[in-house]
A and B are shown apart, each in its own frame.
Chain A
Amino acid sequence: MVSFNVLVTVAIIYTMVLFSVAFYADRRAMRGPSRFLRSPWTYTLSLSVYCTAWTFYGAVGNAARSGLEYLTIYLGPTVVFLAWWWLLRKLVRIGKAERITSIADMISSRYGKSPALAVIVTVLSIAGTTPYIALQLQSVTLSVAVFADFPTGVSGGSDLNATAFWLSVGLALFTIFFGTRNLDANERHHGVVTAIALEAIVKLVALVAVGIFVVWGVSGGVLDTMRVIEASPVARWQPSPSRWTSMIFLSMAAVICLPRMFQVLVVENSDERHLRTASWAFPAYLMAMSLFVLPIAVVGLAVMPDGANPDLFVLTLPLELGQEGLALLAFLGGFSSATSMVIVASIALATMVSNHIVVPIWLNTRAGGASMSGDMRHVVLLSRRLSIVAVLGLGYTYYRTTGGTGALSAIGLVSFAGVAQVVPALLGGLFWRGGTRRGAIAGLVVGFGLWIYTLFMPAIGVFPAGMLDSGPLGIAALRPQALLGVQGMDPLVHSILWSISLNTLAFVMVSLVSFPTPMERLQGASFVNVFERGDGAVSTAGGQAEAEDLLVMAQRLLGAREAQTLFQREATRQGKAGYLPDPTPDFISLLERELAGSVGSATAHAMIAQINGQASITVRDLLAVADESAQMLEYSSKLETQSRELEQIARKLREANAKLTALSVQKDAFLSQVSHELRTPMTSIRSFSEFLKEGGLDAQARSRYAGIIHEESIRLTRLLDDLLDLSVLENGQVVLNVQTARISDLLDRAVASAGLADGGLEVVRQSEGEGIYLKTDTDRLSQVFINLISNAQKYCVSDAPKLRINVSQSKGYVDIDFVDNGLGISPDDATVVFEKFVRLTDQASAGSAGLGLAISREIVHRLGGSLDYVPGQGGAAFRVHIPLTNV
């Protein structure tokens, strides 16, 4: 028999090894990132904190009592890790983005950083975890008792209590030492995690070693073991589907919601990618842990004397068979399982208690609140350390009061069912934006209450006798294990059915009827859509946060150096020198997340809000903003439309103005031209008429001057005629005298009217085509022809001036081209040649005012056609394009 002293020595040495490992890991982590500390394997092994003493010892007991049911405890996590790793990834992502410190913080942060929810989940966690911690203490003391041959009776002896006490003290010391070195709970506890990983190996090796010993050392091989199993009562055990379903559901919930699991899974996670390894490696670990449970149970039942506690087979079987070394290893395995659970659970709980209960109370009771000076880190650290002591003290007290009652596995399941109440609020918060704070509170309270009433209280046996059978005050419908007369059900299944379904119902219904606060909406959106957003969390807009006050507060929580670094970095990012950046919403939100890592999101938010001068954003604020922006939007779109209209009008006005200006300029130019064209002949007439009046001229001169006067007066008359003509044409007052005529006849008349001198312009015509009949104002058209012919006559510069007239017909129109063999008109001039008073040659003697082409063009327009200059024809070429029939 191993002596008690030896056992204690081994335990102490083992503990010292753990201390060293944790110490080394912390030191290593402080020197910088380490591949070992940040390895996915360390992460996976740390997840084994799921396997507590309950699994290490209790699974065998469970198998001995309920057959394969123990497998459900492993199946749940396996399903979650293999099939729902995306859910875990979402949790981890949110945890990092929001600097989540615990499951309570997660729920609180999701539902608008609600302090009330944080407290509820914290209380729930304490209620669910305390029995579990007690369970670990009990398992260690029981295992010690096995070795020390203490009386293993109910309530244990004083020695057992002493063992439990000193164990609690040792664990408290370890946890305080390695769990509260950093204030920022989100800064991973490398020492603790590494120690947990080592313990994970120890417990696996121990259990597998016992298993191998049992299968090959006791049974004589796999086949023999199988035969023993076949023969045992375990093989005849019938699974209950409802209990299996409930158990798998519970273990699925537990692996996410248990405070210690959330701690290692989310808070201690250093890299999201580690989940990929863990998603298969952790199920594999669980499989290895469960592999030998059944053989040990079956062989234990066969070998051990009747009445032996199957919960301790792992330990007692090797002892019974004289394998003391193996038994010691098994003891260390159980010890590891228990201690790792207690350490992580107390860190997680202490963080919650400190962040959500102690610090807020402390802040509220101190005048000045968040803006008070002084280093708050000591307060937070102290509160966390005290919380650890409190949590372990609670566990110890629970152990002392209920010690020895109930099977280990039963308490474990009660615990699981307790934390499973978080599931509706958690999953609803992750995937349903409609979930509200009130809904979450309602669901949690309902579920928590039902769990206490239907499972927790019956389990710890606090109900008076008869309560379970006849209900409180004899009301049968309120029997804790048969609510509303639902009877004949396993108490666990009964409790889960009622608590989870009513919890979910309350959560959904209240969420549907309650109105979320803006903060809830924002947080809800950022949780549900965590993969779609960038870095930013909720930004606290506006506020008059004084950067200096924020720095003072941050220094108190983060430490002077770290806070200053943070502020300086932000200031640099904003392009400012010094330590005081502008309190922009982005920075406030960043700072809040940094602080959340120390005191939880609800407290951090409250502290910032205190300084920031705004308690929180109210619905009205948000609605006002939304309303305002909607109005602004509408207004600006109205303005936009208006300004577009105005712009159009302005453009039209500009165009009209430009037209008027151009017209005015044209009018001036026209008047000036008219004046010039009138004054020039007038000058001659006046001058020569004065000569004639004076007398004294010879007859020849008299005749000549009279001729000039006559000529110039005709010129004047023609000019006036042209002007009137043009005016009539331009004003559209012209009355067309439509007649039918053959083009050849019109051209004949025009050529004759042009009065061509012999040896002057030669007109070349082509008889084909000229036979076309036109129905139009033939007099006007003749006028155009005459003008074009006389222009050619006046301006065609050639030794043998020639004018070709071509007629062609197409699509109801006729083209009559007048092409001379002169120099033609340059492209620039071709555009102005139709303007009034334009005479390209400046030959005043040409005898016209330069209105001919302008009038011709007007006439052709009136006849429904066009008159254009056709370039590139060898000389000046004008085309009359008119419809065959004028309508």
Chain B
Amino acid sequence: MSKSVLLVEDEPNIIEAISFLLERDGWTVRIHAEGADAVEAVARVSPDVVILDVMLPGRSGFDILRDLRNQSGTRDLPILMLTARGQTKDRELAESYGVSHFMTKPFSNEEMLGKVRELYAASAVKS
């Protein structure tokens, strides 16, 4: 079974870029462009890694993160958070909620791919 990523992002060009990057590496990339029901989408898809944008239509990525961390099934799920607002307080907030990694846009493809792989590997060792 191939490794899967759920990409929660609303910017079409970024979705395309990340999808291309990860699929080329053998990942199954699922897309979710809405914030409001993102938590349910994670539960439904049950991905190995989640890439979560902060500014989403309907709901903030921070809220989604908090909810995911408060649910037993997703407490240890690797979550990589992406934000275009590179402020320190955003990073701190995300870390306080238990984010696995916090990444600021724009990112290099190499950095993104490496981080996703790393997160997956770490979670695989744990489980």
Which residues of A line the B interface, CB within 8 A? 672, 675-688, 690-691, 708, 711-712, 841-845
Contact = CB atoms under 8 A, between A and B. Distances in A.
B12 A683 contact: no
A691 B14 CA distance: 13
Given A679-B104, A683-B17, A711-B13, 4 more contacts: A683-B11, A684-B17, A686-B108, A688-B13
Contacts of B63: none
The 6 closest A-B pairs by CB, nearest first: A842-B57, A687-B17, A684-B13, A679-B84, A683-B106, A683-B105
Interface string B107-126: 11110000000000000000
A840 B42 CA distance: 26
Looking at A675, A682, A686, A687, which has the most chain B CB atoms within 10 Å of its CB?
A687
Contact of B106 (A677, A682, A708): A682
B57 A687 contact: no
A844 B11 contact: yes
Contacts of B87: 672, 675
B18 A687 contact: yes
Contacts of B21: 687, 691
Nearest to A677: B84
B86 interface: yes
B14 to A, nearest CB: 5
B109 A691 contact: yes
Contacts of B20: 691
Given A687-B18, A691-B20, A842-B58, A679 B106 contact: yes
A687 B106 contact: yes
Contact of B105 (A679, A688, A708, A842): A679
Contact of B85 (A675, A708, A712): A675
B55 interface: yes
Nearest to B104: A679
Nearest to B34: A842
Given A684-B11, A691-B20, A842-B10, A675 B109 contact: no
A688 B20 CA distance: 10
A690 B109 contact: yes
Contacts of B56: 842
A690 B110 CA distance: 9
Nearest to B24: A691
B107 A672 contact: no
B84 A680 contact: yes
B13 A712 contact: yes
Nearest to A697: B20
Contacts of B16: 708
A682 B17 CA distance: 12
Contacts of B110: 690
A715 to B, nearest CB: 10
A687 B113 CA distance: 11
A680 B14 CA distance: 8
A683 B14 contact: yes
Contacts of A681: 13
B107 A684 contact: no
Contacts, number: 70
Interface string B83-102: 01111000000000000000
A690 B109 CA distance: 7
A842 B57 CA distance: 5
12 contacts: A679-B104, A679-B105, A680-B14, A680-B105, A683-B13, A683-B106, A687-B106, A690-B109, A708-B13, A844-B10, A844-B11, A845-B12
Contacts of A690: 108-110
Nearest to A708: B13
A831 to B, nearest CB: 20
Contacts of A688: 13, 17
Contacts of A683: 11, 13-14, 17, 84, 105-107
A683 B13 CA distance: 9
Contacts of B57: 841-843
Interface residues of B, number: 25
B80 to A, nearest CB: 14
Tell me which of A680, A683, A684, A685 has the highest count of chain B C-beta atoms within 10 A of its own C-beta: A683
B11 A680 contact: yes
Contacts of A680: 11, 14, 84, 105
A849 to B, nearest CB: 12
Nearest to B11: A844
Nearest to B10: A844
Contacts of B85: 672, 675-676, 679
Contacts of B106: 679, 682-683, 685-687
B108 to A, nearest CB: 6
Nearest to B54: A676
Contacts of B14: 680, 683-684, 687
A845 to B, nearest CB: 6
A490 B20 CA distance: 143
A842 B33 CA distance: 11
Nearest to A711: B13
Contacts of A682: 105-106
A878 B55 CA distance: 28
A586 B16 CA distance: 94
Nearest to B86: A675
A883 to B, nearest CB: 39
Contacts of B12: 844-845
Q: Which of B12, B14, B57 has the most CB of A within 10 A?
A: B14
Contacts of A685: 106
A654 B109 CA distance: 49
A681 B13 CA distance: 8
A685 B58 CA distance: 26
B55 to A, nearest CB: 6
B55 A676 contact: yes
Nearest to B58: A842
B77 to A, nearest CB: 24
A560 to B, nearest CB: 82
Contacts of A672: 85, 87
Contacts of B84: 675-680, 683
B38 to A, nearest CB: 14
Contacts of B107: 683, 686-687
Contacts of B58: 842
Nearest to B16: A708
Nearest to B90: A672
A824 B36 CA distance: 22
A835 to B, nearest CB: 16
A688 B108 CA distance: 10
A60 B20 CA distance: 147
A172 B18 CA distance: 131
Contacts of B17: 683-684, 687-688, 691
Contacts of A841: 57
B25 to A, nearest CB: 13
B33 to A, nearest CB: 10
B94 to A, nearest CB: 15
A843 B57 CA distance: 8
B17 to A, nearest CB: 4
A711 B109 CA distance: 20
Nearest to A680: B84
Interface in B37-82: 55-58
Nearest to B12: A845
A676 B14 CA distance: 13
Nearest to A693: B109
Contacts of B18: 687
Nearest to A688: B17
A844 B54 CA distance: 13
Contacts of A679: 84-86, 104-106
Contacts of A687: 14, 17-18, 21, 106-107, 109
A583 B13 CA distance: 92
Contacts of A842: 10, 56-58
A686 B21 CA distance: 13
Contacts of B55: 676
Nearest to B21: A687
A718 B7 CA distance: 28
B11 to A, nearest CB: 5
Contacts of A684: 11, 13-14, 17
